Amino acid sequence: MNSAVLALATSGGTVYAGGLFNAVGGQPRNYMCRDRRVDRSADRLESHAERLLRSPAVAVANGVVYAGGTFTYIGGQSRYHLAALDPVTGASTSWSPTVIGWSVYALAPRGSRIYAGGDFAPSISGQPRANAAALDTATGVPSAWNPSANGYLKALSCAARRWYAGGSFTQIGEAVARQRRGTRREHRTSRRVEPEPERHRHGARGQRA
């Protein structure tokens, strides 16, 4: 690769990467690729991403590769900061939520949803969302999960049925989080927020702080 890799996701023996590169092994690959580590072959995803600059996000769920970033074109289609790609060809699927804002920085699949964090507002697919959302993997429609952070998210993780978020926010899930100073240049904060259980996916549910 001729530049940095900023995101990785694995599925079986395949590694998917996103970053600042535009060539892999001498072959043109714009910001995304795949590498089959089982046989170390040069089988690489050709997503034709316009750009996945800064902190791209990559996740794999149910045989689909999800990508987030600053792009507005990927896999041969117009897509705004979030897309679902064929795991072999890199072509965009029909899944097409519209993210209004700057970028998607973090993706985490769980059940029938893909959770997204980033620097976006005021909406996703016409629904009010600020920097965090959960989207149906079949339709792209946002669920009722809406922690509404007052700053961008760069990390999302689920453990013991709770979601943990990291970023530059000081308020999320209707509660103020303490701002913690880290060793990196940016000041980070983290906060636990409640997931929306699968059995309540069609009903509104608040986030417990």
Q: How many domains does the chain have?
A: 2
Specify the pLDDT at position 42. 43
Residues 198 and 143 in one domain: yes
pLDDT of residue 158: 83
Output phi, psi for 199, to 5 deg: -70, -10
Pick the last residue of a domain from 74, 96, 118: 96
In terms of residue numbers, what domain contains 150? 103-209
Residues 92, 110, single domain; the answer is no
pLDDT in tens, 143-159: 999 999 999 999 998 88
Residue ending a domain, among 96, 128, 156, is 96
129 and 206: one domain? Answer: yes
- 158 and 90 part of one domain: no
Which one of 42, 73, 96 terminates a domain?
96
Q: Do 67 and 137 fall into the same domain? A: no
pLDDT in tens, 65-111: 999 998 888 888 999 999 999 988 889 999 999 999 999 999 999 98
Could you tell me the pTM of the whole model? 0.74
Residue 181 has pLDDT above 80, yes or no: no
